[in-house]
Every structure is written in C-alpha cells, then in structure tokens.
Structure 1
Amino acid sequence: MTRRGPLLTLAAAAVLGLALLGVNMSKEEPAPAAATSPAAAVVPPTTAVPAPSPVTPGVPFPAKADYVGTITRAAGPPLTLAITVAEGAVTAYACDGAAVETWLQGRVVDDVARLEGKNGARLEGRAGGGAVRGTLWIGDKSWEFTAPVVAGAAGLYAATDGGVRQSWIVDGAGGVTGVGRGPDGTTAPAGPLPATATRIGGGDSAD
C-alpha cells in the first residue's frame, strides 16, 4: 500500500509557499514614480516703459512789448539787443556801438519768436518772467541772451540822413548804443540820438 498523504501534504505546502512568496514580491515592487508636473514657464520680467516727459507749455508773448538786453562776447565790446513785439510780429536789432550790427524780423509761432536777418543771422526766443530768453546767431557765432522787458523811452530807434541809416537802442537805464551804416555798407558808431528819430515797433524795420 502506497502512502500518498505525506507527499500530498508536502506538495500543498510547496504550492502555498510559492503563492505567499509571490504575494510578498508583489508588495515589495516599487511604487510607480509620481507624475512630475511640467516645469513652470519662465516669464521674463516686464520692462517698465517710462512715461513721456510732460511738455512745458510756452508762455504767450504780450500783444505789444519791448525788450532790451546785453550780450557779453569773448572778444570785442558787448552786443546790445533790442526786441520789439506787436501782435505776433517781431523785429530785433543787435549792435556793438562800433561796427557790428544786424536787423532781424520774424513772428511768434507756438509761443516761440523765430527771426531771420541778412547773412544767416537768426534769433529764437521765448517769453517768460518779464524777459525774452533765447539764442542769437550772427555769422558763425552764437550767444545765449536774456532781454528784460523795458518801458517808457527805452526801445529801438532809427533815422536816415543823406543815405546814412543810423540805428539806436535805448536800454532801461537810459543808455544809448547805436551804429550808422553808409550807402556803401560801411559801419561806424552812430551819432547822438535825435528827437526826430523814428521809434521802431509793431514789426516795422529800418532795413
């Protein structure tokens, strides 16, 4: 008689052991890696756009006014500058009281006086604070200027006698500076200011 009991018992135990080993191995398998979130997008820093600088509005010129100022030069006597304004029309005259002179004419546009004269002379100025401030060009030279407002007899005058045109500037203190120009274009210091001289204003020109 063959004994199968112990053999069957051993076989069943072996099967049970293999089953338990499989369960344990399944428990020891590493868990699947957690899904990684995509890298956050790199946002470049926003560059702030500077706001435009406020435009300072110009100061309107008076309807009528006279201005006289002095320009110091590196060489030679100072220039005296007269500017007369009437309803937007502007006349200016600069001279050194000896030989240099120039007449300029123009208008006020957008609160800026822009004037031109012979041989490339020009002037740009703005009104404000009881004066005109700007730049005067004569030939290849240029100067910054400030010409305060003047009143009374101060201003610009001219007269012509025997073909000689004489021009004078009377400053706020009563000082007189002038140049005379002959028919041939030669210049010399002007004579005394006569009572018959014409006051230049309202855009009139002696040129």
Structure 2
Amino acid sequence: MKVRGPLITLAAAAALGVGILTVNMSQEPEPAVPGTPVAASTPAPTTPAPAPPPAPAFPAKADYVGKIPTANGTITLDISVEGDKAVAYACDGTSIESWLRGSAVNGAVSLASKDGTGRLEGRLDGANVVGTLWIGQKKWDFTAEPAQPPAGLYVYEQAGVRGSWVVDFSGKATGVLRRSDGSTMPAPGLATDGMAVIDGRTVTATRVQGGSDV
C-alpha cells in the first residue's frame, strides 16, 4: 500500500516556502544601477516666521509737553520733533533750564545739551513720549503728551538776552530769562501770539521746531 500523505505535505510546504520567498523578494528595493542619479527627498514645507512689527515712528512734525514734579517745584518740558531731528527745553520757571538737541529715529529721541550738563533719552509709548531727563547730577523720569498749537516751545534772543518758554495745554507759559552775564530770572508772560515785554520793549518770540538751530 502506497503512503501519499507525507509526500503531499512536503510538497505543499515546499510550494508555500517558494511563495513566501517570492513575495519577500518582490518587496525588496531594486538595487541602484551604477551611474543612475538618485532622486533627492523633498523636504517638508516650512511656515515662514511672522514679520516683526514696524518700528514706531514720529509724525513729520510734533510737540510733546510734560510736567515733572521735583522736590522744589515743577519742571516743564517740551520736546519738538521735525523729521529725524529733535529739540527739547526744560525749565522750572526760575533758574533751572536746559536746551537739548539730537536725533528722533525709530520712535526714540536721544538729546544732549551743548555744554554736556543735560541729557534726555525717550521713546514713543503709544501717543506719548516716556523717558528720563538729566540736568547736572539730577535725573527725573517723565511722560510728555502730544500738544497742539499754541502749546509748544518759544524763544527770543537779542543782544545776549534770551527768553525761553514752554506753553502747556492750558496756554500757561513757563520760562526763564537769561541775561548776558549768565544770571537768570522768571521770564515775563507770553501772549498767545508770541508777544512778550522784556526790559520795557515788546518783542516777538519765535516758535521752535525740531530742526531749528537754537
């Protein structure tokens, strides 16, 4: 009697093994042919970083007026900007005063006095200018708000006598009169049209802009 079961089983197993080998070989990558360029993988697209916000900028012309409380009173400050230049004046209406000049770039002002005793650093914070003022060995933080004419900075100079005023939001003028010998006193009142009386003479003060040479 012939036994066919084991033979059939072995044949089936051999056929299954050949089938598995064929499937595995079909899944293997084909070897690269020498001299054939290999395609580079395409990197995943990247999301560009958001652009930084633009730097704040001053208007073409602007005045900012602030009040700085001190131990002995109040210093009134005006910063006048025109283009990339700025002029500032600070005084207490009696003896303290400082003229400062410098740049107004990218929303920041950096000013100094000619004699090196005064300095001002400020920047736009919303509509206002905030910063620090130095006069001599003292310094004060300040906030100066936008001001519309007649508020602003005015000066009169003749024969060594100089009157300087800051007109605030209420129309009040605070200033110092400096004589040729260096002595100072409160400046006389200033009318809304820039008229003042100095030593019995009626004079006209000039409005100072950021680019003025004062």
Aligned to 2:138: 141
Q: What SS does the aligned partner of 2:100 have?
A: strand
- Mapped to 2, the partners of 1:190 and 1:69 lie a distance apart of 19
Question: How do 1:4-15 and structure 2 match up within 5 A?
Answer: none
Task: List alignment gaps of at least 5 residues for structure 1.
Answer: 1-54
Aligned to 1:185: 182
- Mapped to 1, the partners of 2:155 and 2:144 lie a distance apart of 20
Q: What SS does the aligned partner of 1:132 have?
A: strand
- In structure 2, do the counterparts of structure 1 residues 96 and 56 end up closer, same or farther at CA, with 3 Å as the change threshold? farther
- Mapped to 2, the partners of 1:179 and 1:90 lie a distance apart of 20
Shift of 1:170: 0.3
| Paired residues of 1:68 and 1:155 also in contact (CA < 8 A) | yes
Aligned to 1:7: none
Instruction: Choose from 189, 203, 207 the match for 1:199.
Output: 207
Which amino acid counterpart does residue 106 of structure 1 have in structure 2?
A: G
Q: What SS does the aligned partner of 2:116 have?
A: helix
Return the TM-score normalized by structure 2: 0.66
Which amino acid counterpart does residue 136 of structure 2 have in structure 1?
A: G
Sequence identity (%) = 49
Alignment of 1:100 onto 2:108 = no
Question: How do 1:152-163 and structure 2 match up within 5 A?
Answer: 152-163=149-160
Shift of 1:88: 1.2
Shift of 1:56: 7.9
Which amino acid counterpart does residue 110 of structure 2 have in structure 1?
A: R
Question: How do 1:75-86 and structure 2 match up within 5 A?
Answer: 75-86=71-82
Task: List alignment gaps of at least 5 residues for structure 2.
Answer: 1-51, 196-203
Which amino acid counterpart does residue 103 of structure 2 have in structure 1?
A: R
- Mapped to 2, the partners of 1:188 and 1:205 lie a distance apart of 23
Return the TM-score normalized by structure 1: 0.69
Question: How do 1:47-126 and structure 2 match up within 5 A?
Answer: 58-73=55-70, 75-117=71-113, 118-126=115-123
- Mapped to 2, the partners of 1:177 and 1:205 lie a distance apart of 21
| Paired residues of 1:131 and 1:148 also in contact (CA < 8 A) | yes
Which amino acid counterpart does residue 204 of structure 1 have in structure 2?
A: S
Alignment of 1:167 onto 2:175 = no
RMSD across aligned positions (CA): 1.7
Segments of 4+ moved more than 4 angstroms: 55-58
Which amino acid counterpart does residue 183 of structure 1 have in structure 2?
A: S
* Rg larger for: 1
| Paired residues of 2:56 and 2:106 also in contact (CA < 8 A) | no
